[in-house]
Amino acid sequence: MKFTASQIAALVSGTVEGNPSAEVYKLAKIEDGTSGSISFLANPKYTSFIYNTNASVTLVHKDFVAEKPFKTTLIRVADPYESFSKLLSHYNEIKKKPAGIAPSAIISERATVHKSAYVGAQSIVEADTKISEGVSIHTHVYIGENVVIGKNTSIHTGARILEGSIVGDNCVIHSNAVVGADGFGWAPNDNGSYDKVPQTGNVILGDHVDVGANTTIDRATLGSTKIGNGVKLDNLIQIGHNVEIGAHTVIAAQTGIAGSTKIGSYCQIGGQVGISGHLTIGNRVGIQAKSGILKNIKDDAKIMGYPAFDYTSFNKSYVHFRNLHQHISDLQSLKKKLNHE
């Protein structure tokens, strides 16, 4: 499908400088732009590419001033990156979505699958599960019993949505993610071994939740593990049983959250963060990568380190840590001087 520069400008509330009839039908990075593509310039480091790019149309900031001639048609917008992201979303929406049920899919007679849903090859939908309008279930997906999948949710190849899980509307579950895995519950007995504690609860995902590839969300021991609306989870994240994550929190890859911890809304958690169990983390908390959280955190805190503490204090302390060898040398010299007096 082709679009003109003027049509795109209307979509992103921009103004055209150049040929309003310039047509595009694909997306490209500015350095790789070719005829028929649209690109964007958001980072000043890439400004030099705009003078040589072969992209037919380029999104730029409304205040961009060219220092040399260029060939591309410009669309001036308030925020090029945000506008390009909007175009990406629009592109995904208008792409032809797969439809129907593949012949090799296995769907229980007791499952309910909306007529507009897509179920890919060799995917399985078990009994008493509800698949809603506009859902896309790609190949090799397993959907357990008593699962509910909300409207327009996409579940990618190899994902597992296990018994009793509830997934909201407009979610994306990426490849090989597992929602509703058995929680890590063990009780020590008198002989030093461990007895399994049954995990009888479920997982509830809100609307507009993204779950990255190979991320695992454990079902609750009792009740529910809850992921709020708009939460974005990167790849390779472990979320333990009975964890609760508030709305619009973002968590980067390789973070692990132990059981029964509650995380507030609008938090930003970096990669490889470890969070101990049974803690409460407030709203709008920022946690830097590789931090270890061993105590409750109040609203609006910005923390770093292991054990993690205030981000500004950590940076000030780290200056002294880097110079610790010099501090020790100075202290030893001072001790020698005092001993000789």
Q: What is the pLDDT of residues 9-66, one digit of tens each?
A: 999 999 999 999 999 999 899 999 999 999 999 999 999 999 999 999 999 999 999 9
**CA–CA distance, 178 with 162 (Å, rounded to integer):** 8
Give the residue extent of every domain in the chain.
3-94, 100-313
Q: Residue 217: what pLDDT?
A: 98
Looking at CATH, the fold of the domain delimited by 3-94 is given as 3.40.1390
Examine the residue annotation and report whether 241 is marked as an active-site residue of this protein. yes
Distance CA 319, CA 314 (A): 9
Instruction: Report the candidate in 129, 37, 38, 30 with the shortest Cα–Cα distance to residue 75.
Output: 38
Q: What digits encode the pLDDT tens for the residues 140-154?
A: 999 999 999 999 999
β-pair partners for 96: none
* Mean pLDDT of the residues in the chain: 93
SS3 256: strand
Q: Which of 81-90, 229-238, 319-328 has the lowest mean pLDDT?
A: 319-328
pLDDT at 98: 79
* Percent of the chain whose predicted confidence (pLDDT) is above 90: 82
For residue 303, the SS3 value is strand
DSSP 146-194: T-EE-TT-EE-TT-EE-TT-EE-TT-EE-TT-EEEEPP--EEE-TTS-E
Question: What tokens appear for 192 in the block?
Answer: 């030093």
Specify the CATH superfamily of domain 100-313: Hexapeptide repeat proteins (2.160.10.10)
* Annotated catalytic residue, options 114, 241, 327, 340: 241
